[in-house]
Chains A and B, each alone.
Chain A
Amino acid sequence: MKEFKGRVLAAGNWEGEAVVSHQGVNTLATFQNSALNNKPEVIVGDQNNQDIYGKNITGKALCLPITIGSTTGGLVIQTICAMGINPSAFLFSEHIDSLAASGIVLAKVWEKSDVIAIDQLGEEFLNTVKTGDRVKITEDGTVTVL
């Protein structure tokens, strides 16, 4: 069991399964197929990210450094939150990027989403947490890898 502390961007208490990407997550490439096809869950469609390609990330804690790619990113995050197929939590090891930040703010202000977002958890967090691990998140930004 190991504990990490990050900055709270969107608070919440949650416990569940982690899905881990060690490289930047391309938001559009990751979510587009599932969103476009109105799927009940997101199966990652980013061919360039073998860490998470083909994995179901709905209702999970997506652990990542940052997001990358098209500037549709924020709108995509807002949309998957509105559709209710979003990861329950976005756990960033680095400072959140502008596109993901837009998405989280849009989801909060316009969709009243309960998505959780914490950033600056540190490199060691991503080196520690593995896909399939259970993680516990508390509203003060503490993330425990159980």
Chain B
Amino acid sequence: MIDYKMELNEEQLAILNGEKGEVMQQVLETIVLFGDIFGAKRLVPVTHKDTHLVTSFGLGVLKPLYACMEKLTQADIKAQGYLTVDPRPIDYENVKCNPLEKFVFNKKMYSMQTEYEAYLTKLGLKDSNAFTCTCYLDEVGNIPKEGDVLSWAESSAVVYANSVLGARCNRNSGMLDLFGAIVGYVPEFGLVTDEGRKATWKVYVKTSKKPEAQILGSAIGMKVMEDVPYVYGLDAFLGEDLNDDVKSYLKDFGAATASNGAVGLYHIDNLTPEAKKQGESLIADDAKEYIIDDAELERVYQSYPVMWKKKDAKPNLVFIGCPHLTYDQLCQWTSAIVSGLKQTGRKKVTVRTIMTASPDVVARFKRTTKYQLLTDRGVHVSSICPLMYTNNPIARGLHNIATNSNKLRTYSTSRYYKDADLLNIITGKEGK
């Protein structure tokens, strides 16, 4: 048996002793050693059994992943609840690819997609629509309650679950998410504890108007890194109710804090559940301060490098929806594009534009007349992962990708644009 420091109960000791097989032993060893690094005193039960996994893509290179999946499924091991998973990397129906791209995706990159999805099904995949980074939306239904302990990964989903839903989850890595879901325990440390949820930064938003969610999140992420920020002043723009609009804003804000930094939890004064209940008692005594005004937001925005080969080129592909759009966001973009095109006298968008949302949100959207309005104007709606699509040498060579996602900007050569600028580009107003 491994050397470990934490206190384990009889059930856990039995697993570590190999009484439930070698694979379960290895799974729990990983969790225990991981928890020991953070001084976890014990493992605590996962109370929201349904898990969200970050690894949705069958990248051929991830051989350790498949070796592990093979071991798990051979041992007939399953997650205790159902699994939702990040978006699929490919959608040839709605995101057309040329033969070279298809060759690279099918043969070079995602050569294990079919096999990987078969593994996920055996382990407890919810259904074929379960591929989205926004598993917590009503349409998808993987929604923890306040105080629930989770074994999730996907940085944008974890930060949302912690901050907006008040659940408790560390920034687990891929594999650890699944392992916690299998054994039903996670180590008690960090964001699972009251102490770990205290804010060590006080962030003051002092902008003249509602900040772009993705830039504000980026600024805070780059400043506080993995710490917990308590944000003042944002309630002046967002109000004090977690309505659908606000939740959409916080989804995008959080994704930027998590990808441009490593934020797993934020508190918004007068708005997020713990801040509403506990207020400033959530702030640690020695919290540092960060003031964000218009100039600071502009500084951050201007710091983003343009990674296109020709920096002054025009965009030829636009991705909107990383993280996946909510239903309301799809509707708002539809109205904005229809109205923008009317103003410019155009019938269709001027740049190939793909909007991404979860399969369940897309299904709901398709039942409305807005779907036809949007697609008639040349916009494609997909449930693909924009990152997985854009992050390959072929896409980098073929496309100058524009996006309003700071996460996509960070992990690809996509160029970031503010929402209004992106709308102007795709409706032909300016900047194309």
Chain A residues packing against B (C-beta within 8 Å): 9, 24, 26, 28-29, 32-33, 35-38, 47-48, 65-75, 78-79, 82-83, 96-99, 101-103, 105-106, 108-111
Contact A68 B30 (CB under 8 A): no
* Count of chain B residues with a beta carbon within 8 Å of a chain A beta carbon: 46
Contacting residue for A36 out of B34, B155, B307, B392, CB 8 A:
B392
Partner of B54, one of A36, A70, A83: A70
Contact of B61 among A36, A47, A71, A109 (CB under 8 A): A36
- A102 to B62 alpha-carbon distance, docked (Å): 16
B174, A75: Cβ atoms under 8 Å?
A: yes
Known: A38-B61, A98-B170, A105-B30; 5 extra A-B contacts, CB below 8 A, are A47-B413, A68-B226, A71-B174, A99-B173, A105-B34
Whether B410 contacts A75 by the Cβ 8 Å rule is no
A38 to B67, alpha carbons, bound, how many Å? 18
Interface residues as binary, B183-216 with A (CB distance below 8 Å gives 1, 0 otherwise): 0000000100000000000000000000000000
Known: A74-B175, A101-B37, A105-B37. A110 touches B64 (CB 8 A): yes
With known contacts A32-B391, A105-B33, A75–B305 Cβ distance under 8 A: no
Cβ-closest 9 pairs across A and B: A74-B173, A102-B173, A75-B174, A68-B262, A71-B153, A82-B64, A101-B37, A71-B155, A105-B33
> A29 vs B190: C-alpha distance in the bound complex, in angstroms?
25
The answer to whether B259 touches A103 (Cβ under 8 A) is no
Interface mask (B143-170 → A, CB under 8 Å = 1, otherwise 0): 0000000000111001000000000001
For residue B187, give the distance in angstroms from its CB to the closest CB of chain A.
10
**In the complex, chain B residues whose CB is within 8 Å of the CB of A38:** 61
What's the minimum C-beta distance from B116 to chain A, rounded to whole angstroms?
12
Name, among B153, B154, B258, the residue most crowded by chain A CB atoms within 10 Å (CB to CB). Answer: B153
Question: Does B237 interact with chain A (Cβ within 8 Å)?
Answer: no
CA distance A48 to B119 in the complex (A): 35
Q: How far is the CA of A83 from the CA of B60 in the complex (A)?
A: 12
Nearest B-chain residue to A81, judged by Cβ: B64
Interface residue B171 (Cβ < 8 Å from any Cβ of A)? yes
Are B59 and A71 in contact, with the CB atoms below 8 A? no
8 contacts across the A-B interface (CB closer than 8 A): A33-B393, A68-B262, A72-B54, A75-B64, A75-B65, A82-B64, A83-B61, A101-B37
Write out the residue numbers on chain A whose beta carbons fall within 8 Å of the beta carbon of B54: 70-72, 75
Given contacts A48-B410, A75-B173, contact A66 B34 (CB under 8 A): no
Scan residues 291-332 of chain B and give those whose CB is less than 8 A from a CB of chain A.
Answer: 305, 307
Residues of B within 8 A of A37 (CB): 393
Question: Which residue on chain B has the smallest CB distance to residue A26?
Answer: B410
Residue from A9, A71, A111 whose CB has the most chain B CB atoms within 10 Å = A71
**Given A68-B226, A72-B54, A101-B37, A24 contacting B262 (CB threshold 8 A):** yes
Q: Are B158 and A71 in contact (CB under 8 A)?
A: yes
Cα distance A70–B322 in the bound complex, in angstroms: 13
Q: Complex: how many Å from CA A44 to CA B64?
A: 21
Question: Nearest-CB distance from A113 to chain B (Å)?
Answer: 10
Query: Is B92 part of the binding interface, using a Cβ–Cβ cutoff of 8 Å?
Result: no
B residues less than 8 Å from A96 (CB atoms): 37
Contact, CB under 8 Å: A102 / B391: no
Contact A110 B68 (CB under 8 A): yes
Q: Which of chain A's residues has its CB closest to B155's CB?
A: A71
Please encode chain B, from 60 to 79, with 1 for each CB lying within 8 Å of some chain A CB and 0 for all others: 01111101100000000000
CB neighbours (8 Å) of A82 from chain B are 63-64
CB-CB under 8 A for A69 and B259, given A38-B61, A98-B38: yes
Which chain A residues lie closer than 8 Å to B426 at the CB level?
none
